[in-house]
């Protein structure tokens, strides 16, 4: 969004409040966790990805005062705004699971997570150490970014253990809080075939409650019977941690819903109480899958609706809820899920994307990172809708 408005606004009109010195392409962390690439390859300096025609304030937000059109930074500085875009994403809430954070910090615990640059390489290190026993994977009872990632790493680990000859001594267990393997029926059906072929045990509505690294035990509960603990021993534990929005946003009760997500119209991405406040990405309360593909589609809508608001016009662009999830099923295959609000399938390619595809794998591994760094961050990519229309001119 900064790149888009840097081309439209006079110099000095655009402020980016961002504390991080580094910027990551997070979707590749799944592959890093499976030994394909390094964290360093997913990283760029923040300065290198920001447009030159903007003022970068290297600080974070402490609070937003929408009635006064002000943002208070952590250092106590005041930033006045005419229009505000909130794009703060989600943070990993490790403390919600007792024992998880110290286990992640301990290099010998065999507990890891692909959801952090600090721990995703540890995932592959743990995979290499594993020789036999339970390998347990989790999906938390919160909204998360990239909701397909918790099961992608299961499939990649299974492929790795098969390659290294320890699969027949390994019991792969995927504990998910969800009642289904995936929210879109077409892709869920395909993924269940993958699960069956790979002989993975899936426990639905099962939530991680505690990690006991000294005993190599993970404690779970089933949402239908929350009072009874389920304890599993593990040789390796991969945790997709609970996630939440940052404190400053959760504490702004006039801007957020009951779960701490920024309230926006699901189509216009505009806050209804404060029309000069907009949101994008993982921190907003739209009922879509939180993925990079979703943000690409939202960028186009947000740009045009903010411009309309600046002209005192009604925002007319509509976000369809588009999201995409490249579901890696091995080291050379992928199911490329694409859908909009309501779980309606909206595929781009001229083949059935529910089938495992090598083409889709290399799109995920090589094409999508290129698009992100060279097109999306520069404000030139809005998702594959134009390509889809060319490939399917008579499809709605």
SS (H, E, C) the chain: CHHHHHCCCCCCCCEEECCCCEEECHHHHHHHHCCCCCHHHHEEEHHHHCCCCCEEECCCEEEEECCCCEEEECCCCEEECCCEEECCCCEECHHHCCCHHHHHHCCCCCEECCCCCCCHHHHHHHHHHCCCEEEEEEECCCCCECCCHHHHHHHHHHHHHHHHCCHHHEEEEEEECCCCCCCCHHHHHHHHHHHHHHCCEEECCEEEEEEECCCCEEEEEECCEEEEEEEEECCEEECCCCEECCHHHHCCCCCECCCCCECCCCCCCECCCCCCEEECHHHECCCCCECHHHHHHHHHHHHHHHHHHHCCCCCCCCCCCCEEEEEECCCCCEEEEEEEHHHEECCCCCCCCCCCEHHHHHHHHHHHHHHHHHHHCCCCCCCCHHHHHHHCCCCC
Contact residues for 173 (Cβ-Cβ < 8 A; gap 6+): 134, 135, 136, 137, 200, 201, 203, 232
Determine whether 146 is an active site residue: yes
Q: Report d(CA 111, CA 339) in Å as an integer.
A: 33
Determine whether 54 is an active site residue: no
Please give the structure tokens belonging to residue 358.
């090598």
Q: Report d(CA 248, CA 65) in Å as an integer.
A: 11
Backbone angles phi and psi of 67, in degrees to 5: -70, -25
Signed CA dihedral, 42, 126, 105, 155: sign only: positive
Looking at 146, 177, 283, 299, which residue is catalytic?
A: 146
Cβ–Cβ < 8 Å for 28, 66: no
Would you name the residues annotated as active-site residues? 146, 325
């Amino acid at each position: 969004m900064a790149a888009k408005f840097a081309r439209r606004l006079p110099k000095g009109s655009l402020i980016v409040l961002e504390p991080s010195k580094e910027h990551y392409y997070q979707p590749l962390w799944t592959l890093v966790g499976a030994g394909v690439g390094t964290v360093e390859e997913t990283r760029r300096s923040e300065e290198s990805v920001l447009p030159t025609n903007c003022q970068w304030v290297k600080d974070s937000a402490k609070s937003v005062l929408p009635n006064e059109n002000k943002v208070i930074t952590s250092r106590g500085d005041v930033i006045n705004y005419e229009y505000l875009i909130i794009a703060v994403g989600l943070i990993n809430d490790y403390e919600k699971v007792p024992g998880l954070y110290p286990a992640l910090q301990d290099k010998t615990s065999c507990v890891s997570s692909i959801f952090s640059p600090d721990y995703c390489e540890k995932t592959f290190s743990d995979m290499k150490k594993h020789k036999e026993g339970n390998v347990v994977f989790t999906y938390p009872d919160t909204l998360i970014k990239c909701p397909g990632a918790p099961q992608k790493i299961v499939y990649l680990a299974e492929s790795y253990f098969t390659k290294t000859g320890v699969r027949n001594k390994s019991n792969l267990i995927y504990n998910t809080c969800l009642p289904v393997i995936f929210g879109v029926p077409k892709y869920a059906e395909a993924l269940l075939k993958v699960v069956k072929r790979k002989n993975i045990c899936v426990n639905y509505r099962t939530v991680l409650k505690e990690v006991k690294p000294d005993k190599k035990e993970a404690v779970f509960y089933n949402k239908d019977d929350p009072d009874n603990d389920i304890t599993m021993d593990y040789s390796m534990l991969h945790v997709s941690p609970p996630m939440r929005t940052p404190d400053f946003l959760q504490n702004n009760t006039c801007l957020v819903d009951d779960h701490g997500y920024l309230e926006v119209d699901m189509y216009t991405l505009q806050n209804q109480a404060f029309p000069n406040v907009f949101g994008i990405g993982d921190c907003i309360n739209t009922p879509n899958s939180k993925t990079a593909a979703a943000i690409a589609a939202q960028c186009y809508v947000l740009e045009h609706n903010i411009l309309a608001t600046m002209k005192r016009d009604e925002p007319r662009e509509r976000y369809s809820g588009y999201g995409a999830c490249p579901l890696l099923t091995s080291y050379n295959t992928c199911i490329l899920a694409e859908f909009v609000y309501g779980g309606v399938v909206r595929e781009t390619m001229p083949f059935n994307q529910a089938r495992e595809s090598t083409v889709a794998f290399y799109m995920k591994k090589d094409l999508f990172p290129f698009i992100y760094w060279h097109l999306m961050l520069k404000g030139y990519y809005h998702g594959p809708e134009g390509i889809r229309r060319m490939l399917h001119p008579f499809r709605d």
